[in-house]
């Protein structure tokens, strides 16, 4: 409880500060994004490089002002974070609605694939989960309005700029949102260390939302109640659980694996869906009668026939020469 109180106090302090994105690549990604509003960019005086040139060019195109500051002024803005000599001041993060996330899946003609974060408070975990979600092709992220990490410079840096490319929806009542998703045909899969099923025992080719719980206590009781499936990750060491961002990454990429396998199954109906991708059976050639004996034996028989045919004309020529 004390730790939670400290986190809430830190969040309140963060909300009074100007929102920053620090680091060269995160700032580039923010400039490319349509959902991030950048007010101004500050550069450390004398800093050079191809990424700095790119930042200046993108800023000019978007009409974002940028200025150079000396070391003392620059440190006053960001004394406690790694900046690589670049800071962007951003407006309040733009959030989207749950319906916007579902529209993304419709536009891509894919079954919905959503990540839900149930009170993830650590900015680094939040950023890492956002990064994995963007890389895995998640259509959008749903997070709670309260007791959650805010999108700040730490989240932007940890996500390597991915926070600018994946839509995030904030909801007040997560349990109600889960009910609404279920009504729309989306199956809710929650990560829980005490679950009876392993995370790879679920059919992720269906419309699915993956729920990852708080770093300390996991999923809240009501959230668990709303899940269609609870899954766990097998643990073989002495440590009882994985970091929230690592657990989320494993489950998200199991969704990717299952869906990629399904695409291959459509192309090859002989493929076993439970068979790992690296051990797929070769696709059978159409309109070819299956031979009863092994291929290697057939090849040997063909080779023997060819050699016999080649030898016949040679023997005739020799015979003709001898007659002459």
Inter-CA distances, 24 with 8, 156, 164, Å: 29, 11, 14
Instruction: Specify the pLDDT at position 282.
Output: 42
In whole angstroms, what is the distance from residue 21 CA to residue 33 CA?
A: 13
| Other CB atoms within 10 Å distance of the CB of residue 116 | 27
Q: Which of 249, 23, 220 is nearest to 130 (CA)?
A: 249
Q: How far is CA 217 from the centre of its chain?
A: 24
pLDDT in 10s for each residue of the chain, 324 residues: 454 445 544 444 444 455 778 888 888 988 887 667 788 888 988 888 999 999 999 988 888 888 888 888 888 777 656 788 898 887 656 788 999 999 999 999 999 999 999 989 888 888 899 999 999 999 999 998 888 776 655 666 666 666 667 888 999 999 999 999 999 999 999 999 999 999 999 999 999 999 999 888 899 999 999 999 999 999 998 887 888 999 999 999 999 999 998 888 766 655 565 554 443 444 444 444 444 444 455 555 555 655 655 555 554 444 444 444
The Cα–Cα gap between 37 and 39 comes to 6
**pTM tops 0.85, yes or no:** no
Quote the Cα angle for 82-125-201, to 5°.
Answer: 150
- Domain ranges for the chain, please list them: 18-90, 106-267
pLDDT of residue 208: 97
Rounded CA-CA distance 151/157 in Å is 10
Tokens found for residue 189 = 């899969």
Name which of 165, 148, 30, 161 is nearest 96 in CA terms.
165
Of 18, 29, 35, 206, the C-alpha closest to 110 is 206
For residue 51, what are the β-bridge partners?
none
Burial class (CB in 10 A: 0-12, 13-18, 19+), 211: buried
Query: Which residue has 């708080």 as its token pair?
Result: 214
- What is the dihedral angle through the alpha carbons of 296, 298, 299, 305, rounded to the nearest 10 degrees? 150
**Measuring CA to CA, how many Å separate 91 from each of 34, 65, 94?**
13, 14, 8
For residue 142, the cross-strand partners are 116, 169
Tokens of 272: 């076993």
Helix (H) or strand (E) holding 76: helix 71-77
Q: Report the C-alpha gap between 6 and 271 in whole angstroms.
A: 53
Q: What share of the chain is helix, strand, coil (3-state, %, to 5)?
A: 45, 15, 35
Topology annotation, domain 106-267? Alpha/beta knot (3.40.1280)
Question: CB count, 10 Å around CB of 80?
Answer: 6
Homologous superfamily, domain 18-90: Ribosomal protein L30/S12 (3.30.1330.30)
């Amino acid at each position: 409880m004390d730790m939670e109180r400290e986190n809430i106090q830190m969040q309140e302090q963060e909300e009074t500060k100007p929102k920053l994105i620090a680091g060269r690549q995160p700032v580039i990604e923010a400039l490319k994004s349509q959902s991030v509003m950048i007010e101004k960019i500050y550069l450390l005086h004398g800093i050079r490089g191809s990424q700095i040139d790119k930042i200046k060019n993108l800023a000019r195109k978007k009409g974002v002002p940028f200025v150079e500051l000396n070391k003392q002024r620059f440190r006053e803005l960001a004394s406690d974070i790694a900046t690589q000599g670049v800071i962007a001041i951003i407006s309040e993060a733009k959030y989207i609605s749950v319906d916007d996330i579902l529209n993304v899946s419709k536009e891509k003609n894919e079954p919905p694939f959503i990540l839900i974060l149930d009170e993830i408070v650590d900015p680094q975990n939040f950023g890492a989960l956002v990064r994995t979600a963007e890389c895995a092709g998640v259509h959008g992220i749903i997070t709670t309005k309260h007791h959650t990490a805010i999108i700040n410079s730490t989240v932007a840096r940890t996500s390597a700029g991915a926070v600018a490319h994946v839509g995030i929806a904030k909801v007040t009542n997560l349990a109600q949102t889960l009910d609404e998703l279920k009504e729309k045909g989306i199956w809710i899969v929650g990560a829980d260390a005490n679950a009876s099923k392993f995370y790879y025992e679920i059919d992720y080719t269906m419309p699915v939302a993956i729920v990852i719980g708080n770093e300390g206590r996991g999923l809240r009781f009501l959230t668990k109640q709303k899940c269609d499936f609870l899954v766990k990750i097998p643990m073989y060491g002495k440590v009882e659980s994985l970091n929230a961002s690592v657990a989320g990454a494993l489950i998200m990429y199991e969704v990717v694996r299952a869906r990629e396998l399904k695409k291959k199954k459509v192309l090859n109906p002989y493929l076993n869906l439970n068979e790992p991708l690296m051990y797929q059976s070769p696709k059978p050639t159409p309109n070819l009668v299956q031979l009863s004996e092994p291929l290697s034996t057939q090849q040997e028989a063909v080779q023997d026939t060819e050699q016999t045919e080649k030898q016949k004309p040679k023997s005739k020529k020799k015979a003709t020469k001898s007659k002459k």
